[in-house]
Chains A and B, each alone.
Chain A
Amino acid sequence: MGSEPYDLTIRQAGDALRDGSLTSAALTDSVLARIEQTQPALRTYITVTAGLARERAAAADDELRAGRDRGPLHGIPLALKDVIDTAGITTTAGSDFLRDRVPEVDAAVVTRLKEAGAVLTGKLNLHEFALSTTSINPFYGAVANPWDTTRVAGGSSGGSAASVAAGSALGSLGTDTGGSVRLPAALCNLVGFKPTYGRISRIGVLAFSWSLDHLGSFTRTVEDAALMLNAMAGYDPADSGSADEPVEDFTRDLGKGVEGLRIGLARDLFWNRCDEEVEAACEAALGLYRGLGAEVRDVSLPLLAANRRLPILAVEVATYHAPWLREYGDRYSPESRALLEAGSLIPATAYVNAQRLRTQLIAETREALQHVDVLISPTSPVVAPTIEEGDPRFVLARYIMDFNVTGVPALSLPGGFDSRGLPIGLQIAARHFDEVGLFRVAHAYQQATDWHTRRPPL
């Protein structure tokens, strides 16, 4: 771990703000300087809001001095994937034809972060309209991986991952429709977390696929992810997918360990066709959990194994984009346009039957999670490919989409490095609305390993 303020975790920075050893102004200046230093190589930000960030940091310091403490995110520099609306600040979705779009209203989640005292440093690069896995964006540049700048950071929330990995934000938000938070987190050695479907309001966030979209966070630690969820979770009747569920203190069980917990492996789904070094790292993680007192057992999800990649996402995204496709078809990248046009061709009966089948997949997953506490797997079967290689066959996303289909909470956390020094991600999923249990299991792993303390050679 480095010694600069931008290297701190959210918890560490919050402690330093409260004991007087650091101000939000100094922390924010450190992050803004880091953005300037790393932006040419990484292309993480589309818009940097330095002036606004300094104003908010100064206000956060004034409030703390006056005895007003808004909680763990007070004075902490965070950044947002550029599909999340910010009043008066461009929100491009990584698109050519939305490059001048300025929302009038903040997204609901931005309002919550501001109320929690966060300092927003800007808007982050992504795959065009969040449509794929690499964040090779033809309009704003390919986001580079801080661990090897010739490689992709993953996607679609590539800038959200690369920024936190590089220290140009202490935490960030992304969206996860088919794994777009967990995948880049895995490739960049971060914790990438998506909650249960409906936990965080999506009002003011550009849709990708209404029934699969989740907001999620990027942090260095599981504890920081729990702190961010504490600030963001809650029912919003304006979001038809929002869950009217009680919001707990998601840090509640972090220190309880995993003694006696049951870890499930669905090997036919999540461990097949996996790179040897990735598999070895994840097997080592299972050994660690056994050593901590957890029981590891196999589980079977045959219906899910036989029915992956349902044509739900392709149909919903084609529906959302249909008006833009008619008006701005030539201003999409050819790759995105082909996806949207292909999705337009799926018969309505196929979509409805896919949603019916999905109901049964959810039931099967719920049943499996009655017999184990969590499911564990690699996040991605391979480490980050080069920008030149990309991910034309969507190999990176092989293990992650199922948890969008079933809506269970899931995260990726640092699980080691391959022989080239590239990060490997470990994926954990839990029961619906059991984020407390998910964080408990993941935190136990971080307490026993130091992968998350390593920083990229930038």
Chain B
Amino acid sequence: MPTDDLDEAQRLARLRVLAEAAGLDLPDDRLRAMAPLAEALLSRFGQYTALDLGDTHPAFALRIRRD
């Protein structure tokens, strides 16, 4: 989700859509406060789509077993 070509208003609007979908009603000052962290987290989203994860099941990560 590249954001380099968006101005601040567009970036905040994008975050507002995500916030509303999450049930959060955030004023602009709070959107600005969390924007750097949220964008850093969202920027990593793209890298997983580029990886071949095959049919790896997510729950296996939570079941640690002895070698």
Residues of chain A whose beta carbon lies under 8 Å from any beta carbon of chain B: 196-198, 211, 241, 243, 245, 307, 309-311, 314, 322, 334, 337-339, 341-347, 349-350, 352-360, 362, 366, 369-370, 407, 431-433
Q: Considering only CB atoms and an 8 Å cut-off, how many residues of chain B contact the other chain?
A: 32
Chain B residues with CB below 8 A from A343, complex form: 41
**Can you list 27 contacts pairing A with B, beta carbon distance less than 8 Å?**
A211-B62, A241-B62, A245-B66, A307-B47, A310-B44, A311-B41, A311-B44, A314-B37, A338-B37, A339-B37, A341-B26, A341-B38, A344-B22, A344-B23, A344-B24, A345-B15, A345-B19, A353-B48, A354-B48, A356-B48, A356-B53, A356-B61, A359-B57, A359-B61, A362-B60, A431-B67, A432-B65
Q: In the complex, are the beta carbons of B64 and A407 less than 8 A apart?
A: yes
Interface residue? B9 (CB, 8 A): no
Interface string of B3-46 (1 = CB under 8 A from A): 00000000000010011001110100010011001100110110
Contact indicator A356/B67 (Cβ below 8 Å) = no
Q: Are B57 and A356 in contact (CB-based, < 8 A)?
A: yes
Residue of B26, B30, B62 with most partner-chain A CB within 10 A? B62
CA distance A407 to B62 in the complex (A): 9
In the bound complex, residues from chain A placing their C-beta under 8 Å from that of B33 are 334, 337-338
Across the interface, which residues of A come within 8 angstroms of B34, CB to CB?
337-339, 341-342
Min distance, Cβ B41 to any Cβ of chain A, angstroms: 5
* Interface pair B41/A346, CB less than 8 Å apart: yes
Contacts of B41 in A (CB 8 A): 311, 314, 342-343, 345-346
Does the CB pair B37–A342 fall under 8 Å? yes
Complex-state Cα separation, A345 to B45, whole angstroms: 12
Q: Sorted from nearest, which 6 A-B pairs have the closest CB atoms? A: A355-B58, A342-B38, A353-B48, A338-B34, A358-B61, A345-B18
Q: Is the beta-carbon distance between A357 and B66 smaller than 8 angstroms?
A: no
CA distance A353 to B19 in the complex (A): 21
Q: Once bound together, how far apart are the Cα atoms of A184 and B19, in whole Å?
A: 34
- The 8 Å CB contact of A360, one of B30, B37, B53, is B53
CA–CA, A407 and B65, complex, Å: 10
Q: How far is the CA of A355 from the CA of B53 in the complex (A)?
A: 11
Most buried by A among B30, B49, B66: B66
CB of B65 to closest CB in A, whole Å: 7
A407 to B15, CA, bound (A): 32
**Complex: how many Å from CA A163 to CA B41?**
34
Q: A311-B41, A338-B34, A339-B37 are in contact. Are A345 and B64 (CB under 8 A)?
A: no
Nearest Cβ in chain A — how far from B31, in angstroms? 9
Question: Do A350 and B53 contact each other (CB < 8 Å), given the known contacts A339-B37, A342-B34, A358-B61?
Answer: no
